[in-house]
């Protein structure tokens, strides 16, 4: 908890939170192979984080509704686009890596 308190709230909200919540959503979509799981997971994690972080960081202050709604629209949208990309092109990317590995082993002989 001390580590989170040492990070500037602006940097936390602009850098760390988007990377973590969108990353968790993309992982959920890739693991389930369902594109819609990315935005749903991202939305749930974002709401959970905001409901925990704001009362802890700013005790007594109300949670800014505009901040929650803006993040709850932007993060799931990015998660949807990236989940679509990773789920749709996962097989092509895997086949490409296998092809590259075969070519390297062919030329090393």
pLDDT in tens, 27-60: 999 899 999 999 999 999 998 888 887 777 778 8
User: pTM of the predicted model, to two decimals?
Assistant: 0.76
pLDDT tens digits, 75-97? 999 999 999 998 888 888 788 88
Cβ 75 vs Cβ 48: under 8 Å: no
What's the gap between Cα 68 and its chain centre? 16
Spatial separation of the C-alpha atoms in residues 33 and 70, rounded to whole Å: 27
């Amino acid at each position: 908890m001390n580590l989170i308190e040492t990070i500037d709230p602006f940097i936390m909200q602009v850098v760390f939170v988007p990377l973590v919540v969108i990353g968790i959503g993309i992982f959920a979509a890739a693991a389930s192979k369902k594109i819609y799981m990315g935005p749903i997971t991202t939305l749930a994690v974002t709401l959970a984080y905001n409901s925990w972080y704001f009362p802890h960081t700013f005790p007594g202050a109300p949670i800014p509704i505009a901040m929650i709604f803006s993040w709850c629209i932007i993060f799931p949208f990015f998660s949807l686009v990236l989940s679509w990309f990773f789920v749709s092109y996962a097989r092509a990317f895997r086949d490409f890596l296998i092809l590259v590995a075969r070519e390297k082993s062919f030329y090393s002989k």
